[in-house]
Amino acid sequence: MRGLTRYPAITATAVVLATVLVLQARGEPATARWVATAWVAGFIVWTLMGMVRDVLRGHVGLDVLAVVAMVATLAVQEYVASLVIVLMLAGGEALEDFAARRARRDLTALLDRSPRTAHLLAGGDVPVDDVAVGDVLLVRPGEIVPVDGALLTAGTFDESSLTGESLPVSRETGDEVLSGAVNGTRAVRLRAARRSSDSQYQQIVALVAAAQESRAPVVRLADRFAVPFTAVSLVLAGAAWTISGDPVRFAEVLVLATPCPLLIAAPVAFLSGLSRAAGLGVIMKGGTVVEQLARLRSAAFDKTGTLTQGRPDLVAVRPATGFAADDVLRLAASAEQYSSHVFADSVRRAAAARGLDLLAADDAEEVATRGVAARVAGRSVVVGKPAYVRSVAPDTSDAVLGPGQAAAYVAVDGRFAGVVVLADDPRPESAAVVSWLRANGVEHVTMLTGDARATAESVAGQVGIDDVRAELLPGEKVRIAAGLAPRPLMMVGDGVNDAPVLAASDVGVAMGARGATAAGDAADVVLLVDSLGRLVDAVSVGRHTLRTALSAIWLGIGLSIAPMIVAMTGAIPAVTGALVQELVDLATILYALRALGGPPSGLPATEGAPRLR
């Protein structure tokens, strides 16, 4: 019964068709003809209105063939056939709805598992949107953590949907746990650190919702084929009429000229590709991204947190004369305590590991890609790159660093205080990803980083990149990316400073669980799982999806033209042709759904990571 109300055009047309057949059986052909003509004429007007709206939006009106076919069948008094055409066109809506629901299954799965309620320790169950920062929540065994928070009791969590780690992860009291993680076998308490809308999983849900909206490349694909397909169909129909001298042949040919492979099959393929990617932990923001990924010719990578692990480890603290190592580290960590840079986080972790308490920092100011200046316990502290620190401490000397090492230079009260040496190793999969891209048609691979050239070149050499642009400001990254060729260009990064260049690239990719930040907002693709190997999945799915969409279109066109040629001989009556048309639609839609089963990447670094459903 719900199907009858969901698709009123199908229901009404079926009723009209049944009425016409009954009238014919009762010997009232004139009444049957007028009933059919009135209904089909109304449908033609409704279709024409939709075509005009499409043309005004700059898209070719693909329904022109259907309109001509309906007019032609009415003109030659094949009014039963005209009703069948209307029924088949209306049925296309139901087919598209079914196929779209099937195609969206993994996208929908991500949305469906979004937490709806939270258990306040004092106050009972409340909608998750009502949770305030500081509220104490109870998360029962097997439940999804509703908001980001700090644990008040230790526990284990399944974080596979956020990090790709398939084994349960133990978290201690005070550790941060992100929304979307699944609690283990015992109840835990946590203090909310962010509201629902600002928490990790809701950010992911917002990305998924946006991914379902854009269908621009589908329209472009349809427009590319619409005019030639319409022209060929009209030529075949006109030739059949001219050769036979029978206008009925014109109608019999046109009822087989279905536009549905263009109208339905391509959108279904793109939706399937988006869903397939979501199941692999890759959120693509619309079909435009799919097409750009499929045609990728160049790739650029940030270094820290993208090609590298993004969690540098302390190698050494080298104090200058007159300073103690612990004092240098404590002052540096205190000045950097409000910075979001991964090096700042590493300096703070190193200080904590040595048991050093941070001091209050006032007047903190961060200069993007350069460093931080602050007043710490009444002292002026500057931490950052050598040129930045040298601007306030001319006696700053360059440190000798090993391969892959980086240094945070420190100045105190205008004097060079020393360096904090860090090492950030490449991700184990980085070299394999770069190699895969080169082997699969990406002609130019480059590194764009704000880090020192020596460090950047060391990492680039380990992962197989020979074009290195180092010591760049965010604006310089944008300028260089604009000049890179050939296009399309994919830029991969993970930090706030990467947001401008991600937005300016043909395809911007934000890395890992950190993707739902400023970089994630600016990016076209967000890799939810913190593995660069997912980039291979993204490109593979993009190529498979575009190939499937184009194949579905050509399949539909071929399956339409072949019976059209047969119909030129008069071998296929108009009613039969309308039914054949629907079979062609069904075949192309089923073919388009193949995009749900995109080929696995085969990259070792991505094997074994869980699907997000």
Residue 34 counted as domain residue: yes
Q: Are residues 366 and 414 both part of a single domain?
A: yes
- Whether 556 has a pLDDT exceeding 60, the answer reads yes
The CATH number for 143's domain is: 2.70.150.10
Q: Are residues 382 and 440 both part of a single domain?
A: no
Q: Which is more confidently placed, 494 or 104? A: 494
Which residue out of 106, 135, 302, 498 is catalytically annotated?
302
Among candidate residues 128, 579, 601, 535, the one with its CA nearest the CA of residue 296:
535
Active site residue 129: no
Pairing of strands 405-412, 415-423: antiparallel
Residue 61's pLDDT is 58
- Whether 599 has a pLDDT exceeding 80, the answer reads no
The CATH number for 458's domain is: 3.40.50.1000
Q: Are residues 227 and 96 both part of a single domain?
A: yes
Q: Are residues 444 and 513 both part of a single domain?
A: yes
Among candidate residues 294, 279, 278, 277, the one with its CA nearest the CA of residue 221:
294
Q: Which is more confidently placed, 319 or 258? A: 319
Residue 3's pLDDT is 45
Contacts of 61 (CB under 8 A, 6+ apart): 50, 51, 52, 54, 55, 226
Read off the pTM: 0.78
Among candidate residues 515, 519, 592, 547, the one with its CA nearest the CA of residue 282:
515
Do residues 211 and 274 make contact, with C-beta atoms less than 8 angstroms apart?
A: yes
Q: Which is more confidently placed, 291 or 111? A: 291
Of all residues in the chain, what percent carry a pLDDT higher than 70?
85
For 302-360, what is each residue's pLDDT tens digit?
998 899 988 889 999 999 999 999 999 999 999 998 887 778 889 999 999 999 999 99
- Whether 612 has a pLDDT exceeding 60, the answer reads no
- Whether 538 has a pLDDT exceeding 50, the answer reads yes
- For residue 223, give the H/E element and its range: helix 216-244
Q: Are residues 318 and 406 both part of a single domain?
A: yes
Residue 255 counted as domain residue: yes
Q: What mean pLDDT comes out for the span 585-594?
A: 88
Give residue 260's Cα distance to chain centre.
26
> Which of 164-178, 329-343, 566-580 has the weakest average pLDDT?
164-178
Do residues 536 and 433 make contact, with C-beta atoms less than 8 angstroms apart?
A: yes
pLDDT band at 279 (very low <50, low <70, confident <90, very high): confident
Counted domains in the chain: 4
Q: Are residues 477 and 567 both part of a single domain?
A: no
- Whether 5 has a pLDDT exceeding 60, the answer reads no
Do residues 50 and 90 make contact, with C-beta atoms less than 8 angstroms apart?
A: no
Q: Are residues 154 and 194 both part of a single domain?
A: yes
Q: What mean pLDDT comes out for the span 263-274?
A: 82
pLDDT band at 168 (very low <50, low <70, confident <90, very high): confident
Q: Are residues 405 and 432 both part of a single domain?
A: no
Boundary of a domain, candidates 201, 223, 247: 201
Residue 461 counted as domain residue: yes
Residue 358's pLDDT is 92
Among candidate residues 205, 203, 198, 182, the one with its CA nearest the CA of residue 131:
198
Residue 535 counted as domain residue: no
Boundary of a domain, candidates 401, 423, 445: 423
- Whether 607 has a pLDDT exceeding 60, the answer reads no
Q: What mean pLDDT comes out for the span 73-91?
A: 85
Residue type, 408: A
Structural domain harbouring 391: 313-423
Q: Are residues 419 and 323 both part of a single domain?
A: yes
Q: Which is more confidently placed, 605 or 242? A: 242
Residue 111 counted as domain residue: no
Round to whole Å and give the CA distance between 344 and 368: 12
Contacts of 474 (CB under 8 A, 6+ apart): 368, 369, 450, 497, 498, 500, 501
- Whether 562 has a pLDDT exceeding 90, the answer reads yes
Q: Are residues 450 and 508 both part of a single domain?
A: yes
Residue whose token pair is 């992962």: 463
For 42-64, what is each residue's pLDDT tens digit?
999 988 887 787 777 766 556 78
The CATH number for 318's domain is: 3.40.1110.10
Among candidate residues 209, 255, 257, 252, the one with its CA nearest the CA of residue 231:
257
For 422-445, what is each residue's pLDDT tens digit?
998 899 999 999 999 999 999 999
Give residue 368's Cα distance to chain centre.
27
Residue 109 counted as domain residue: no
Boundary of a domain, candidates 364, 393, 423: 423
pLDDT band at 516 (very low <50, low <70, confident <90, very high): very low
Residue 295 counted as domain residue: yes
Q: What mean pLDDT comes out for the span 395-419?
A: 92
Residue 510 counted as domain residue: yes
Q: Are residues 262 and 389 both part of a single domain?
A: no
Residue 352's pLDDT is 92
For 460-513, what is each residue's pLDDT tens digit?
999 999 999 998 888 899 999 999 999 999 999 876 567 788 888 999 998 865
Q: What mean pLDDT comes out for the span 136-162?
A: 88
pLDDT band at 271 (very low <50, low <70, confident <90, very high): confident
Q: Are residues 320 and 411 both part of a single domain?
A: yes
pLDDT band at 207 (very low <50, low <70, confident <90, very high): low
